[in-house]
Amino acid sequence: MSDPLLEVEDLRTQFPTERGVVEAVDGVSLRIEPGEIVGLVGESGSGKSVLAESIIGIVEEPGEIVGGDIRLRGESLRDKSEAELAALRGGELAMVFQDPMNSLNPTLPVGEQIAETVRLHQGVGESVRLPAEVKRKILGVAKNSEAWRRAITMLEAVEIPEPESRATDYPHQFSGGMRQRAMIAMALSCEPDLLITDEPTTALDVTIQAQILGELKGLKEAFDTSILMITHDLAVVAETCDRVNVMYAGEIVEKASAQQLFANPQHPYTQGLLASTPRLEDPNQEIDPISGTVPELIDIPYACHFAPRCPEAKRECYDIEPEFRPVGEGIERSTEPSNPATAAADGEGRRGDRSVSNTEDRPEEHVAACLRRGREADRL
Amino acid sequence: MSRSTDSAPAPAETESTSAETTASETDVGTSASGEANADATDAEAPLLAARNISKYYDQSEGFLDDLIGDARPVRAVDGVDLEVRRGETLAVVGESGCGKSTLGRTLLNLESVTGGHIEYRGEDITGLSGSAMQPYRRDLQMVFQDPLASLNPRQTVGEILKAPMEVHGIGESDEERTERVRELLGLVGLKEGHLDRYPRQFSGGQQQRVGVARALTLSPELIVADEPVSALDVSVQAQILDLLDDLQTELDLALCFVTHDLSVVRHVADRVAVMYLGEIIETAPVEELFANPRHPYTKSLLSAVPRIDPAARTDRTVLEGTVPSPADPPSGCRFHTRCPAVIPPAEWAGTQAEFKSAFTFRNRVLGEEIDPEAIRTRLSAESAATDNDAVATRITERFVPDTDAQLPANARKAIENAAARLANGETEAAKTTVTEAFPSPCEDETPRDTPTEGGHVACHRVDPEMPGDPDVL
Amino acid sequence: MRRYVAKRVLHALFIMWLVATTVFIGLRSMPGGPVRTMLGQEATPQAVAQLRSQLGLDEPLYIQYADWMTDLLFLEFGTSITSSQSVREVVLGAAPKTFSIAIVAIVVGLAVAIPAGIISATHKREPIDYIATIAAFLGVSMPAFFVGILLALVFGVWYNLLPVVGYTPLSAGFLPWLESVILPGIAVGLPYAAIIMRMMRSSLLEVLDEQYMRTARAKGVTGRTRLFKHALQNALIPVITVAGIQLALVLVGSVTVELVFGIQGLGRILVSSILDLDYPVTQAVILLIAGVMVFTNLVVDLAYTVIDPRIRYGGENG
Amino acid sequence: MNDEPPNARSNPDHERTRNAETDGGLDPGIGRNSPSEPEPTETPPFGEPMDVPPEYRQEESVVEHRSLRSRIVRGLREDKLALFGAVVVVGFVLVAVFAPYVAPYDPGATFGFMQSPDSYSQADVDGDGSIERVWHPLGTDSFGYDVLSRIIFGARVSLAVALATVLVAFTIGTAIGLAAGFYGGWIDSVLMRYVDFQWAFPEIILGVAIIAFAGGRGVENVVIAIGIAYIDDFARLIRGEVLSLREEEYVTAARAIGMSNRRIMTKEILPNAVAPLIVQATLMIPLAILAEAGLSFLGLGVSPTTPTWGLLLSDGRQFISRAWWISVMPGIAIMVVVLAFNTLGDGLRDIFDVSDSEVEQR
């Protein structure tokens, strides 16, 4: 079987602070196949953003990756130099951040910020050395240059109206939704293999979110990229993702296809999360919260990080490190479209043919890291 | 019941609306809304009622702005009628910038009201401030969105919770007040030991519990909760919603719940008011609104919410464009620039979707969003022809779906005509062409409030006297 | 943007009118009247009456005010009492000297502060950063005239490299002019540079933490381009504010440094006019300095339109 | 160094606002995982977790709340520059207060003229008729006075002038700022127009104008001149502070419970405005010292009978080529003290976590 597009293996990222070392990412493994939309869901403080930043290698001071490996098409990123990584960023790996308000540089026209990515990664023959860039900044961009033309086509691809005139506008002249689209355009402008979106629509209104999520799936097909969708919103995951990883306190606790996860959630935290999420479609749902709060990620003594909040927790949960165990109806081959859910959702939405995932031969796994789940659970 | 105050409503309309106001008042009372505590007898006046209230913010700082500055006021709330009954939960829902938070604060006189009046138990409390408003403060309280920001960082929880009692002279001695505070902490699920802690020493959920405790100190009858759970995580959100629900039943509180989250609305509200750009465009009992939304904006809003259960996903009507600026709202129905169900003129031959596409072109031309010169440079970059005709065709390509649907001939002609005028710089001429070619009643008249089952809708399509059938979407 | 510019110009004119009126009122409400203070206590009543009419002080107030305003518009400040030259010549003769020092100070200040601020921000916690911070603290703590004295001592007395006294006008050639004003310019420029350098450093550090800088890094933009293309312009916006506010410091510094280098600038004639009770000159210098302050404030406001697009293209259009 | 829970600050993954769940942590001692008692009503169906076994309990990371005073002490211990500033400032104040005991000689006593630093002269100091060798660490000036003694006595006047000036600027400026910030409306625009207007008059102009009015130099004129000149700084700072505090949600919350304006001002706004005020006042003292020195240097400052460092420096100006130390020594004294106040002010700003923009740089 060919190498997966991206494979994260037992990744550890830590932040030394006066009060101890914050283990933001505590041994996480994750796999993304080409053409897939993989969800990473969890509450704030679960470490999902740090995981994304570790993959792209922009973890901020004083954080650092201390263990595990990240492989892009089988090639490890950890032993690449900063220059090599810089070439990857925006080219093979692109990222969209949560806060559209200041993810774009307020003193650069939006078109130029996209054209810059094109120049950096698409080799359009325009110099990216400092003097040329500063000259462009002062004298303005040549509007008939190849990079500018592609920037406009990118703005058009993300359905920003009148892209030609908007390209010369500045970010503060764009609404929140428009800015996020510009960010997506920038990320996709070099046909990356993997687009990581960190809570892309959290700061947006629900109608704008619907527009962008609808477009995102279409763009995925058009630019033949796969997406790592990071969010706290289970409904967004249900509608967009093919496979889902549920993250809690620095660890991934459950992995499944979206359809399996929502039809048959196994890990107590996933069940608790689903139980406490109000659902629009279910009026008589009795919301019942998970009691307690997310623990501080500083040297957590007990094995399963969810134990103190887990109603089924037993003594062993504190002692024995929970391994991933299959919990779905055994391993089944994913012949049907990987996520009937996402297929149905496209419906009348203007864009998007059925997204049949092209991973026929890959075994569908539904695993959870919990001693009281899976085949050996009955012994406890 | 919304009516934008500036457009001159036809005389006939005013009488009928006032007639409706009394009518809908009784409707609301008798409607069989699901929750037990909402079927209060209709004779009883609503706990809190707002009649056509507005709140404008002027943008000018000082006389210089009035002279040459941009002096148009921001009309955050523009002619809103609202009622909250005893023990009832009314959800005010809308997207960011629709004025729902401002409405919540104006109801409690935390923002000075610009127009209309507010009644509490029938007594007029419009614009009261300071000592005049003081007695009413005991009955009307507020919970804020940002748990930490609403607590003074330099005071302990004990001091924060004792302050209301000191201000209103409740309790003889400090010990008695401290006792009451301990009781309150227990009520909201916090421990007595938390009394002398500072706000920063709590988690988000705990801070919000202190906020709720403070609102309960004066045992109010109504609490305005301004997005109380938006800043919290899902699991903590559920804890606070649970808390509010228990307290409401236990203390028979009325709750005005301001939020943008429709899933929360379904679990919390008895009645819902949907707001768009400063106006309430639809109110209805919660089950009625979710089962049978009438206003196109409510329909789009509901269809936009992502759902976990695949079976529950309806086909999605995706709204285009962004919310206009409240300082310069569109004329007539404020939603007409984005409404998928904008009413075509009587003689329109094509389909609704075609009219919507032509109407969008019209709005872009009127909004001067199309810049022919930028298109010309793009054409030259693509080394294509750059004369006016080429620019005109490029403009029309986007709006005339030349695939299957055939735009009515005169419509296509009008678009090409306007595009040509734009191409050689006659923007004004292009504007007149499109306004004549694509009129709509939605743009000329403000929609009247049509009473519906337990609420009302402000949309021409639902209004029996206006053209256009209600179920086009 | 036009609206922003119009607003700022109107605001400046309004302040200038306010300044002129205050000086007008101030002059006339002098205890015992300006004339008596000028001529001293024992002046004969005729001399007093004669000077009052000469200065037009006996006409009704509003006429005096009208004359005052018209004179102001045509820069007609009357004649100096001590030197009976026209005040305009006296003041305009001295002004270029002070403004030369001020301009050199600003140029030196910015030329030193901006690069130093950038270097110390990009080399945080390295030795060069500490040196720059200490130097900045010292710079802020030394008054301009003290720096002047030290410079005069080292360059004039001990090593005699540069002229330490006197001013050679620009007309006599750029280099000689520069030589005569470089020392006072540096003396005034150093404290100015210190303040701006600290602001540049803290502002740049703040910008480098911004979200859009992380976006740039996630796009693969290299370090130096990120600094000069993405960060610098954003960091300069708050620096302009401080550079504008601190112009007052430069003006005050220039006036005091003149004495150290024996340059007959505005400072000298201001002080002597006060001591000789020569009010027309004092009044003219006060107006000129206030005018310069208001003008520089306006220039700073307009500089925003160049460097901050949010001011140039205000408002969000969807 | 502010006391925000470090894990919330360092935890980079706080998409939600900082105060969301990250700094919660378990309760101390008992392992009850929920910080709250179980809901008053029945236990939620999701079920109640078991008690955390004792050995796994984490003591709750309660963020320690430190009063203003303890934060200053802690801050100074860590920030060496600020510590240096504090020490020198305290030394300067002590020297100024106890000048007569500290100064080696009477400032009026005359010795050899213009003797270089670290030189000796013969004089009868203790009045017992005998001539002793007298040491002049900093030399003597053109009148034969001992430069060090003059500086020590000069410290007293300089400090007095600086404190008086800051007091004037502080009181009037804060009053204007409070009124403009809290009441807003036309009061705000009128006061702010005054502040813009006053900005056009740097301290030398005011000094000159006041001398023209009051007819003559003197400490009072200097204090008034510089005091007025810095009113606009305080006014602008306090107004900005009050405006931002007024928008804080806990002020709206205070109004929501019916608190009167006066009580909001005193109980809610002022306590939170204290920090920037302290910092600005600390940073204002050195500016006042420099301004006074400037005025004295121009001959518009204090009269010779009460010499400040500025005057000493100015007097030595003509003798710069022959006796540089007469000017340079007081100059160094000014520099060291001003440096101390600046570093102390900067340190206080970090301790109170008052952002740069809040404190005017002048």
Beta bridge partners of B12: none
Give the model's pLDDT for residue B454: 83
| Helix ranges (DSSP H) in B31-152 | 63-68, 100-107, 130-137
Report how far residue D40's alpha carbon sits from residue D34's, in angstroms, rounded to the nearest whole number: 13
HSE at residue B309, side-chain half, CA atoms within 13 A, is 11
Arithmetic mean of pLDDT, B81-90: 91
C224 CB near a chain B CB, below 8 Å? no
Average pLDDT of span C97-107? 90
Residue A226: its pLDDT value, please? 92
Find chain C residues with C-beta within 8 A of D205's C-beta.
Answer: 286, 289-290
User: How would residue C36 be classed by pLDDT, with cut points 50, 70 and 90?
Assistant: low
- What are the structure tokens assigned to B118, written together? 């507010």
Torsion of CA C167, C169, C175, C180, to 10 degrees: 10
Same domain, C21 and C107: no
Helix axes B204-216, B157-168, angle to 10 degrees: 20
Between C and D, how many CB-CB pairs are < 8 A? 139
Instruction: Decide if pLDDT at B397 tops 90.
Output: no
Q: What's the mean pLDDT when you consider all of chain D?
A: 76
CB contact under 8 A, B238 and A214: no
Phi first, then psi: give them for residue B54, nearest 5 degrees.
Answer: -130, 155
Q: Given this model, what pLDDT does residue C33 score? A: 58
Q: List the single residue in D20, D48, D58 with the smallest CB-CB distance to A44.
A: D20
Is residue C286 domain-resident?
Answer: yes
Q: Which of residues 238-297 of A touch C (CB under 8 A)?
A: none
Query: Residue C37: what residue type?
Result: T
In-domain check, residue D168: yes
Determine the residue of chain B that is closest to C14 in CA distance: B64
Query: Is a pLDDT exceeding 80 seen at residue B456?
Result: yes
Instruction: Identify whether the C-beta of residue C288 lies closer than 8 Å to the C-beta of residue C21.
Output: no
User: D172: domain range?
Assistant: 68-361
Handedness of CA D38, D43, D45, D50 (dihedral sign): positive
Given this model, what pLDDT does residue D62 score?
A: 67
pLDDT of residue D362: 30
Q: Pick B85 or B322 by higher pLDDT.
A: B85
D185 part of a folded domain: yes
Q: Which of C215, C230, C313 sits opposite A97 (nearest CB)?
A: C215
Average pLDDT over residues C218-232: 88
- Residue B404 predicted with pLDDT over 70: no
Contact C286 D193 (CB under 8 A): no
Q: Which residues pair with B273 in a beta bridge?
A: B92, B283
DSSP for A194-252, please give it.
EEEEESTTTTS-HHHHHHHHHHHHHHHHHTT-EEEEEES-HHHHHHH-SEEEEEETTEE
Read off the DSSP letter of residue B100.
H
Contacts C225 to A, Cβ<8 Å:
128, 130, 133
The predicted pLDDT at position B30 comes to: 35
What pLDDT score was predicted for residue C110? 92
Q: How far is C155 from chain A (nearest CA, A)?
A: 39
**Within a 10 A sphere around the Cβ of C306, how many other Cβ atoms?**
10
B68 touches chain C (CB under 8 A): yes
Residue C153 DSSP code: I
CB contact A371 to C (< 8 Å)? no
- C40 pLDDT tier (thresholds 50, 70, 90): low
Which of C1, C204, C219, C230 is the best mutation test for A, with the most CBs of A within 10 A? Answer: C219
A279 φ/ψ angles, rounded to the nearest 5 degrees? -110, 130
Region A283-312: mean pLDDT is 82
Query: In this complex, is the C-beta atom of D40 within 8 Å of any C-beta atom belonging to chain A?
Result: no
Subunit contact A19:D7, Cβ cutoff 8 A? yes
Interchain pair C318, B68: CB under 8 A: no
Provide DSSP, C25-45. Answer: HHHHT-TTHHHHHHH-TT--H
**ipTM attached to this prediction:** 0.79
Structural domain count of chain C: 2
Strands (E), D5-104: none
Tokens of B235: 């699991």
Given a contact cutoff of 8 angstroms between Cβ atoms, the answer to whether D107 and D96 are in contact is no
Tens of pLDDT, residue by residue over B38-55, are 444 445 678 899 999 999
Q: Please check whether residues C32 and C118 belong to one and the same domain.
A: no
Four-CA torsion D126, D131, D134, D139, nearest 10 degrees: 110
Using an 8 Å CB-CB cutoff, list chain D residues near A17. Answer: 6-7, 9-10
- d(C-alpha A253, C-alpha A290), whole Å: 16
Residue ranges of the domains in chain A? 1-101+194-264, 105-173, 274-379
pLDDT band at C89 (very low <50, low <70, confident <90, very high): confident
**pLDDT above 70: percentage of residues in chain D:** 81
A195 pLDDT band, cuts 50/70/90, is very high
- H/E stretch holding B457 reads strand B455-458
Residue B159 to residues B151, B194, B214, B216, D251: CA-CA distances in angstroms? 11, 12, 10, 15, 15
The residue out of C42, C73, C104 marking a domain boundary is: C73
Residue B274 in this model has a pLDDT that exceeds 90: yes
Tokens of D46: 């999701």
Q: What CATH class has A1-101+194-264?
A: alpha beta
Please write the tens of the pLDDT for every residue from B127-142: 887 788 888 999 999 9
Does the structure show a pLDDT above 60 at A348? no
The structural domains of chain B, with segments of one domain joined by +, span: 11-26+42-59+70-269, 352-439
Distance from the C252 Cα atom to the nearest Cα atom in chain D, whole angstroms: 7
Note the pLDDT of residue B424.
85
Q: Is the pLDDT of residue A356 over 60?
A: no
Residue B400 clears pLDDT 90, i.e. is over it: no
Q: Which residues contact B283 (CB under 8 A, 6 or more apart)?
A: B271, B272, B273, B274, B455, B456
Which pLDDT does position B63 carry in this prediction? 63
Q: Note the pLDDT of residue B55.
A: 92
> pLDDT at residue C231 above 60?
yes
Residues C168 and C202 in one domain: yes
The Cα-based distances of A77 to A108, B273, D9 in angstroms read 31, 52, 28
**Is C287 found in the same domain as C227?**
yes
| pLDDT number for residue B223 | 94
- Joined together, the tokens standing for residue A125 give 């023959």
B200 and D253 in contact by Cβ < 8 A? no
CB-CB under 8 Å, A205 with B315: no
C259, containing H or E segment: helix C247-260
Q: Is there a contact between C65 and C17 (Cβ–Cβ < 8 Å)?
A: no
* Sheet containing A93-96, strands listed edge to edge, beginning at the edge strand earlier in sequence: A93-96, A194-198, A226-231, A37-41, A243-248, A251-257, A367-369, A324-326
Which residues are A363's β-sheet partners?
A: A333
Cβ distance of C279 and D212 shorter than 8 Å: yes
Selecting from A178, A259, A290 the residue whose C-beta is nearest the C-beta of B322 gives: A178
* Closest in D35, D65, D258 to B137, CB measured: D258
| pLDDT tens digit sequence for C251-282 | 888 888 888 888 888 888 888 887 777 777 88
Rounded to an integer, what distance in angstroms lies between the CA atom of residue D88 and that of residue D180? 37
CA distance readout (Å), B283 to B58, B78, B90, B107: 29, 16, 10, 17
Q: Residue C221: is its pLDDT beyond 80? A: yes
Least-confidence region, from A274-288, A347-361, D190-204, D325-339: A347-361
- Bridge-based pairing state of the strands B89-93 and B271-276: parallel
Architecture of domain B11-26+42-59+70-269: 3-Layer(aba) Sandwich (3.40)
C145, C157, C275 ranked by CB distance to D321: nearest:
C157
pLDDT band at A136 (very low <50, low <70, confident <90, very high): confident
Residue B361 pLDDT level (bands cut at 50, 70, 90): confident
Using the predicted structure, report yes or no on whether residue D38 has a pLDDT greater than 50: no
Please state the rounded mean pLDDT for residues B403-412: 70
Q: Does any CB of chain C come closer than 8 Å to the CB of residue A88?
A: yes
Q: Please report the pLDDT score of residue C43 as a whole number.
A: 67
Reported residue count of chain B is 473
Mean pLDDT, rounded, for D1-16: 32
Q: Do D13 and A275 touch (CB under 8 A)?
A: no
Question: DSSP string spanning B308-352?
Answer: SSGGGPPPP-PPPS-PPPTTSPPSSSTTTTT-TTPPPPTT--S-H
What integer pLDDT is reported at residue D33 of this predicted model? 35
Q: Residue D220 — pLDDT band, cuts 50, 70, 90? A: confident
Record: contact C146-D313, CB cut-off 8 A: yes
Is the CB of residue C2 less than 8 Å away from at least one CB of chain B?
no
pLDDT digits (tens, 9 = 90+) for B425-447: 888 998 888 888 888 888 888 88
Parent domain of C193: 92-307
One-letter identity of residue C23: V
The alpha-carbon gap from A350 to the nearest alpha carbon of chain D, in Å, equals 31
pLDDT at C37: 59
Of C3, C316, C317, the CB nearest to B68: C3
User: pTM for this one?
Assistant: 0.81
State the DSSP string of D188-211.
HHHHHHHHHHHHTS-HHHHHHHHH
pLDDT tens digit string along C12-21? 888 888 888 8
Residue A368 scores a pLDDT above 80: yes
pLDDT at B70: 62
DSSP helix/strand/coil, A118: helix
Q: Is the CB of residue C255 less than 8 Å from the CB of residue C273? A: no
Structurally, how many domains does chain D consist of?
A: 1
Q: Say yes or no: C43 and C101 in one domain.
A: no
Q: In this model, does residue B16 exceed pLDDT 50?
A: no
Q: Which of B206-220, C68-82, D127-141 holds the top average pLDDT?
A: B206-220
Judging contacts by C-beta atoms under 8 Å, the chain C residues touching residue B369 are: 317
Q: Which of D13, D30, D64 to mutate to test the interface with A (most CBs of A within 10 A)?
A: D13
User: Cis peptide before B310, with omega less than 30 degrees from 0?
Assistant: no
Distance CA D315, CA D151 (A): 13
Task: Specify if D38 maps to a domain.
Answer: no
> Using one digit for the tens of pLDDT, what is the confidence trace for C199-211?
999 999 999 989 9
D199 contacts D165 by C-beta, under 8 angstroms:
no
Residue C225 has its nearest CB partner, among A102, A133, A178, at A133
Query: Tell me: the pLDDT tens digits for D232-285?
Result: 888 888 888 888 888 888 999 999 988 888 888 888 888 888 888 888 888 889
- Indicate if C141 and C273 belong to the same structural domain: yes
Is the pLDDT at D35 greater than 50? The verdict is no
Average pLDDT over residues D70-74: 80
- Measured in residues, chain D has a length of 362
Which among C266, C299, C298 has a CA at the least distance from the CA of C15? C298
